[in-house]
A and B are shown apart, each in its own frame.
Chain A
Amino acid sequence: MKVKQFLLTLCLLFPLLAIQFLHATPPPDSDQNCYRCHSMKTLSYRDSVTNAIVSLYVDSTKFKHSNHADLACVDCHDDDGFLQYPHTQEARNEKLQCTDCHDSFDNNWEQFKQSIHYKKFGDRFSCFSCHNPHAFKASSDSTSPKKIIAKDNAICLNCHSSQTELMQLDSSGNYTDLITAHRWLPKLQLHWKAVRCIECHTPVKSGVYSHDILPKEKAVKKCEECHNTNSILFTKLYRFRVKEARQKEGFLKALAQNTPYVVGMTRDPVIDRWSIYLFLLTLFGLGAHGFGRWLAGRRRKK
C-alpha cells in the first residue's frame, strides 16, 4: 500500500518537478548545457535568406579569456526559449546588440550608421559582423602595439581577405583585392604591419576612433596627414616611445636622455627666418643704444 501511495505521489509530483526544472534559472554551470552542443565546431545552419552557412560554434577557451568571461550564456541570451531544446523560434529570432548592455556605446552605434558598412548592407551588418562577443578582448595598453595592430587588422581582414566571406554579403563578386586597392601606397607591407586599417579608414576626431568606417574615396590618402609632426599619430608614438624608454632605461636616465626627442619638430622656415631677423634687430638696437650712450658720454666729458 505504501509503495502504491509513493508511486502515485511521484506521478503527481513529476510534472510539477518537470515544469519547475524548465522554468527555474539554470544553475551557474548551465553554460555546460549550452556547450554540450555549441562546442561542436561543425554546429551550423544554412540561412534560408542569404544562403550562407552560419556557424553556431562558441570557442569556450576564447570565451573564458574574453572581456565577457564573467557572464553566463543566458545573461545575454535571456529568452526562455533557450532553456529548452529545440530552442523556440522566438528565441532563435532574437536580435542582440552590444548597446543592449553597453549604454555608453550609443555613440558607436550612431557612428556605425554613418559607415560604409551600414550604408551598403543595412541590417545585414551588425556589431557582431566585426566584433565576436564570444571572444572580444579590448586592446589594452599592456600588450605591444604590434600585437594590437595585428589583432585589430585581423578583424577587417577576416572578411576583406576572404572571397567567401565577402560573397556572403555581396554576391556580385565585384570587389578589388586589397593589394590592388592599396597599390598607390608605398611600402605597403610595412604600413600594414605598423598601422591599423582604421587609422586611415575612420575619421579621427579628437583622438577617439570612430565606428564610421570610411569608403576608400574618403580614407586618408595624403602622406602628410600622418607623416607630420602635428599629427595625432605622431603624438601617440612620442608618448609610447617615452613610456618604452622609461621601462628600458629607468625613470631618471630616460628623463635626462629623452631619446624620443624629435629633431626639427619646432623648425619652420618662415618662423626661423623671422625669429633670426628679430633677434638680430634686438642685438642691433641694443648695440646702437650702447654706442649712443658711449658717444654721448664722451661728448659730455668734453
Chain B
Amino acid sequence: MKKVYLYPLWLRIWHWTNATLYIILIVTGFSMHFSSIQHPFIPFRTARAIHNVSGVLLVFMYLDFLINNLFSWNGKYYIIRFKGLMNRIFLQTRYYLFGIFKGEPHPFESDEKSKFNPLQQLTYVTIMFVFMPLLIVSGLMLLFPEYAPQTIFGVGGLWPVAMTHYTAAYFLTLFTIGHIYLGTTGHTLTSNYKTMITGYHIIVHEEPTREDRKDEK
C-alpha cells in the first residue's frame, strides 16, 4: 500500500465547486427545458435566475481550471499519449466489462506519472476541451445575444446556439451520472470519493512492471 498526493487543494476546491454548480445547473436547466405552468418543477423565474448566476460562476470555474492547469504540474495529465492508445483503451474497456466483475486489479493504477486511466483521460479531455467550451460559448451568447451570429445556415442565429447549449448540457449530464457512478469503482466503493476530499490516493496494487509481466508469462 502506498499513498500518493494527487489532488492539490486548489483542484479539490475546484472539483467540488464545479460539481455543485453542475448539479444546480442540471436541475434548474431540466426544470427550464421541461417548464410547465401546471406542474412546475422549480418556479420558472427562480430556476432561470439560479441557472444564470450559476452559469456565470461556472465560466469563472472553467477559467480557473484552464489557468491552474496551465501553470501547474496537473496539466500534464491531460496530454494524451497516442502511442499504444488503442491497446490501452481496449485493456480499460475489457476491465470495465469483465475484469471488474472478477475482482481483477485496475489495469492502470493512478500514480504521479498518470492520474487518469486512458478512457478517463479521453473523456475528461473531450469534456473539458470540447463540450465545456461549446456549453460556455453558447451559454454566454444567450446572455449576450449581441455577440451571437445573425444567422447560422440561413436560420436565425439564436436557435442553433440554444440547441448547442442544450445538446452540450445533455451530454455533460450523462457524463456527470457516469462520473458519479465510476467514482464507486475504486478499490472500495468510497475510496475515490475520499481521495477527492483528502487529496491522497491509496495504491493497493502497484502497477506491475515489465519484469513482473514477464514473470507472469
The stretch of B109-117, B125-133, B156-164, B199-207 in contact with A is B156-164
Nearest chain A CB to B100 CB, angstrom units: 6
B158–A206 CB distance below 8 A = no
Nearest chain A CB to B57 CB, angstrom units: 11
Q: Which residues of A have CB within 8 Å of B4?
A: none
Q: Mark A189-226, 1 if CB is under 8 A from B, else 0.
A: 00000000000000001110000000000000000000
A-contacting residues, B27-70, CB 8 Å: 32-35, 44-45, 48-49, 52-53, 56
B-contacting residues, A218-254, CB 8 Å: 229-236, 238-239, 242-243
Q: Which residues of A have CB within 8 Å of B160?
A: 230
Q: Is A300 an interface position by the 8 A CB rule?
A: yes
Interface of A, helix, strand, loop or mixed by DSSP: helix
Interchain CA distance A230-B161 in the complex, whole Å: 10
A283–B177 CB distance below 8 A = yes
Interchain CA distance A293-B102 in the complex, whole Å: 9
Interchain CA distance A258-B46 in the complex, whole Å: 11
Q: Is A256 an interface position by the 8 A CB rule?
A: yes
A261–B32 CB distance below 8 A = yes
16 contacts between A and B (CB under 8 A): A206-B150, A206-B151, A207-B150, A231-B156, A235-B158, A239-B145, A256-B52, A257-B48, A258-B48, A261-B48, A265-B162, A266-B162, A267-B34, A275-B170, A278-B174, A279-B174
Q: Which residues of A are in contact with B by a Cβ distance under 8 Å?
A: 205-207, 229-236, 238-239, 242-243, 255-258, 261-267, 272, 275, 278-279, 282-283, 286, 289-290, 292-293, 296-297, 300
Having A207-B150, A234-B156, A279-B174, one finds 11 other A-B pairs with CB under 8 Å, namely: A230-B158, A230-B159, A235-B158, A239-B145, A239-B148, A262-B162, A265-B159, A265-B162, A275-B170, A278-B174, A293-B101
Q: Which residues of B are in contact with A by a Cβ distance under 8 Å?
A: 32-35, 44-45, 48-49, 52-53, 56, 96, 100-103, 142-146, 148, 150-151, 154-160, 162-163, 165-166, 170, 173-174, 177-178, 181, 184-185
